[in-house]
Amino acid sequence: MTSTLKSTWQVVSGTSLGGHHLLTGTPNQDAVSARSAGSEGSLVAISVADGHGSEYCFRSDVGSSAAVEIATRLGVDFLERHGHLPAETLSTAATEELIPLIVNEWTTRINEHRRLEPLTSHESTLSLPDGVENSLLPYGTTLLLALITDHCGLVLQVGDGDAIAVDTRGNVSLPVPPDSDLVAGTTASLCSSHASSQFRVGITDPEQGPIALWALVTDGYGNSFSDPQWQQQVGSDLLKHLSENGVAWVQERIGSWLAESASAGGDDVSMVLAVRSDAR
Amino acid sequence: MGVHAERPGGALATRPLHFVWIADSSGSMASDGKIQSLNNAIRETIPHLRQVAESHPFAQMLVRCIAFSTGVHWHIREPTPIENLTWRDLKAGGYTHMGEALQEVAIELSAPSMERRALPPSLILISDGQPTDDFQAGLDMLLKQPWGRQSVRLAIAIGRDADIDVLREFMGDSGLAPVPANNPEQLVASIRWASVVASRLSSEPTRGFAQAQLGLEGFPDLEETW
């Protein structure tokens, strides 16, 4: 999937079914979304989500699709009202206002889905592990959202995945560092009863130059690289390709790049890029 | 320049799956041929693990073995690809320092060499007796590590003197019980079963115990030797 928004920021995105999902006949449980706003289209929200896909999360493709749609829609609305604020203030406002809104609307959407499409008799036998009461669990998903303005970027994240910011000089940063407790597929989730407090929030490094490229990826992408510091090379390679060959060239190739990662690591793989038009 | 050469980032790789046998080599294992049966059982299990690895092309199974008696030692220290694994016989003698073995595994699972991208480790505890050291301290240390908490843990109880309670505690709340092995044939079947099931569960982290094809039926139902 690729798309281009007519704005200061151009968006490229793609997703690929994991090799293991291909073998087992399970669907792609990742989702990707992007929206722009602002008088000159200078405000952008991009998002990826990774449905857990575990035995108890058999509707997580629905959960991830809802998550990115809600997050980008509420995200651009938030940017239109607060996008002029300095980064720190924007971060505080997002934590206090936007995150609870996203969690509440996602919860409402999922409860409505359950009402309209009750669990089948087979799903009911899988719905919950012993001793767990959580009607949202079948829809469990991560969420990674970047809110991008001319002067800063803000990342909101619950669960795994990576957000990469590359400045015009090619310096790579991770606004939300990896959580060392998230190993072996464990992840925080939007379906948690305290999801709002599980969000991690990061802003662009003030030491970095103007950001030329944002990349959000689900964990299947990073897990396919042998180098644990893969973000550095991916960030600089992408910026080089965009500078030398342009957005359309990357759009043509992103699907096959993601398919290679999905084939190596076995998991679904998704990526969304926001590229500053005047930085190329 | 082809699409492959243009792909951003460095080399791609399958995900490591660390598999560890935690084997009792205390003095009681020397009686009634138990240690030799254990050696035979693990040797017979290796081809089955290779089959699991072949059917899970996204994982690279890396095998180690730690033996505990009076103290512990890594019988296979280097994480060894299952394709290259050969088994050297364990020898029995000494006390049952099971807690120390779990501490040592915890240290290995907390080392920087544990890649963030690794799959949940598989830990198979095999014992015929009661710990003679602080089992609880070892288990606590193991479960304090994120990789320890997320590991797939199964246990095999050799003979009637095995401490079922500590083996059950090691396994956690999977809903399964330690697998009994009361004669050489059952020991082969139980080690093969536990090793294959644990490695499958680790290879497919989204598949839980409830969905796993556990296949516990059909164990050799022979006279109890141990």
- State the Cα angle at B69 between B67 and B73, rounded to 5°: 40
* Cβ separation B211–A55 shorter than 8 A: yes
Residue percentage of chain A with pLDDT more than 70: 92
The proportion of chain A whose per-residue pLDDT surpasses 90, expressed as a percent, equals 59
Q: What is the Cα–Cα distance from B135 to B166, expressed in whole angstroms?
A: 8
Quick: pLDDT tens for A221-239.
999 999 989 999 999 999 9
Selected residue with higher pLDDT from B75 and A138: B75
Domain coordinates in residue numbering, chain B = 14-203
Residue A117 has pLDDT above 70, yes or no: yes
CA distance A55 to A138: 9
Per-residue tokens: A107: 């919860």
Cα B178 to Cα B128, B149, B155, B175, distances in angstroms? 12, 18, 5, 10
- Structural contact between residues A45 and A34, judged by C-beta atoms closer than 8 angstroms: yes
Average pLDDT, integer, range A1-6 = 47
pLDDT computed for residue B213 by the predictor = 45
Which amino acid type is present at position B116? R
- pLDDT of A161 strictly over 50: yes
Residues of B in contact with A264 (CB under 8 A): 12-14, 58
Over residues A195-211, the mean pLDDT reads 87
Determine which helix (DSSP H) or strand (DSSP E) holds A37, and give its type and residue range.
Answer: strand A30-37
CATH number listed for the domain at residues B14-203? 3.40.50.410
Q: Collect all residues of chain B within an 8 Å Cβ-Cβ radius of residue A178.
A: 116
Asked if CATH classification 3.60.40.10 holds for the domain at A9-279, the reply, yes or no, is: yes
Whether pLDDT at A7 is above 60 = no
Q: Which residues contact B120 (CB under 8 A, 6 or more apart)?
A: A184, A185, B17, B147, B150, B151, B152, B201, B202, B205
3-state class (DSSP) for residue A268? coil
Distance CA B109, CA B122 (A): 11
In this prediction, residue B185 carries a pLDDT of 85
Residue B76 CB coordination number (10 Å): 18
Q: In degrees, to the nearest 5, what angle opens at C-alpha B68 toward C-alphas B65 and B70?
A: 150
Give residue for tokens 């007519």.
Answer: A6
Averaged pLDDT of chain B: 87
pLDDT score recorded for residue B204: 67
The total of other beta-carbon atoms located within 10 Å of residue A227's CB is 17
Position B206 scores a pLDDT of: 57
Domain chopping of chain A, boundaries: 9-279
* Sheet strand arrangement including B59-69: B71-81, B59-69, B15-24, B122-127, B152-158, B179-181
Residue matched to tokens 């040797």: B43
Residue A55: closest C-alpha in chain B: B207
ipTM over 0.90: no
Average pLDDT, chain A: 88
pLDDT digits (tens, 9 = 90+) for A261-279: 998 888 899 999 999 986 5
Where is A69: in which H helix or E strand? Answer: helix A60-82
Distance CA A188, CA A194 (A): 10
- More confident position, A40 or B15: B15
Residue B12 reports pLDDT greater than 80: yes
Q: Lowest mean pLDDT of A134-138, B88-92, B155-159, name the range.
A: A134-138
Residue of A nearest to B146 (CA): A181
Q: Does B11 sit within 8 Å of A227, measured CB to CB? A: yes
Chain B environment of A19 (Cβ under 8 Å): 57-58
> C-alpha distances in angstroms, A140 versus A66, A114, A159?
11, 13, 11
